[in-house]
A and B are shown apart, each in its own frame.
Chain A
Amino acid sequence: MSGESATRITPGNALRPEDVAERVAGGVQVGEDVGEYALRLGDDALILAQRLGWWISRAPELEEDVALGNIALDLLGHARSFLTYAGSAWGKTEDDLAYWRGESEFRSCFLVEQPNGDFGKTIARQLVFSIFQHELYSRLVDSADETIAAISAKALKEVDYHRDHAIQWTIRLGDGTEESKRRIQAGLESVWPYVAELFQDDELIERLGGVAAHPSEMRAPFDALMAQVLDEAGLELPDVQPAMTGGRGGKHSEHLGYILAEMQVIAREHPGATW
Chain B
Amino acid sequence: MATKTQSPRDAQLQPVPSAEDEAGQAYFDKIIAEDSRIEPADWMPAGYRKTLTRQISQHAHSEIIGMQPEANFITRAPSLKRKAILMAKVQDEAGHGLYLYSAAETLGTPRDELFDQLLSGKAKYSSIFNYPALTWADMGAIGWLVDGAAIVNQVPLCRASYGPYGRAMVRVCKEESFHQRQGFEILLELASGTPAQKQMAQDAVNRFYAPALMMFGPNDDESPNSQQSMRWNIKRFSNDELRQRFVGMIQEQVRVLGLTLPDDEIRFNEETGKWEYGELDWNEFYEVLKGRGPCNAQRMERRREAHENGAWVREAAAAYAAKKAQKAQVA
Asked if A239 is at the interface of the complex by the 8 Å CB criterion, the answer is no
Residue numbers in B under 8 Å from A66 (CB-CB) = 91, 94-95, 98
Residue numbers in B under 8 Å from A64 (CB-CB) = 310, 313
Asked if A203 is at the interface of the complex by the 8 Å CB criterion, the answer is no
Partner of A99, one of B78, B87, B97, B101: B78
Partner of B320, one of A76, A118, A172, A272: A172
- Measured CB to CB, the nearest residue on chain B to A179 is B312
- Looking at A28-36, A48-56, A129-137, A142-150, the stretch in contact with chain B turns out to be A48-56
With both chains docked as a complex, state the minimum distance between the C-beta of B202 and any C-beta of chain A, in angstroms: 16
Count, chain A residues at interface, CB 8 A: 50
Residue numbers in B under 8 Å from A219 (CB-CB) = none
Main secondary structure of the interface of B (DSSP, over half): helix
Residue numbers in A under 8 Å from B97 (CB-CB) = 62
- Measured CB to CB, the nearest residue on chain A to B310 is A60
- Measured CB to CB, the nearest residue on chain B to A70 is B91
Asked if B309 is at the interface of the complex by the 8 Å CB criterion, the answer is yes
Asked if A177 is at the interface of the complex by the 8 Å CB criterion, the answer is yes
- Complexed CA–CA distance, A66 and B71 (Å): 13
- Measured CB to CB, the nearest residue on chain A to B135 is A266
- Measured CB to CB, the nearest residue on chain A to B193 is A273
Main secondary structure of the interface of A (DSSP, over half): helix
Given the contacts A57-B67, A177-B316, A266-B76, A72 and B87 also touching, CB distance less than 8 Å: yes
Given the contacts A58-B302, A62-B64, A270 and B78 also touching, CB distance less than 8 Å: yes
- Measured CB to CB, the nearest residue on chain A to B305 is A58
- Measured CB to CB, the nearest residue on chain B to A175 is B320
- Measured CB to CB, the nearest residue on chain A to B64 is A62
Residue numbers in B under 8 Å from A94 (CB-CB) = 80
9 nearest CB pairs, A to B: A60-B310, A176-B316, A180-B316, A60-B313, A69-B91, A57-B71, A65-B94, A57-B67, A266-B78
Residues of A within 8 A of B (CB): 17, 46, 50, 53-54, 56-66, 69-70, 72-73, 76-77, 79-80, 83, 94-95, 98-99, 118-119, 171-173, 175-177, 179-180, 183, 262-263, 265-267, 270, 272-275
Q: A62-B64, A69-B94, A262-B75 are in contact. List 11 more A-B contacts (CB 8 A).
A: A53-B83, A53-B87, A56-B71, A56-B87, A57-B90, A57-B94, A60-B310, A66-B98, A173-B320, A267-B79, A273-B196
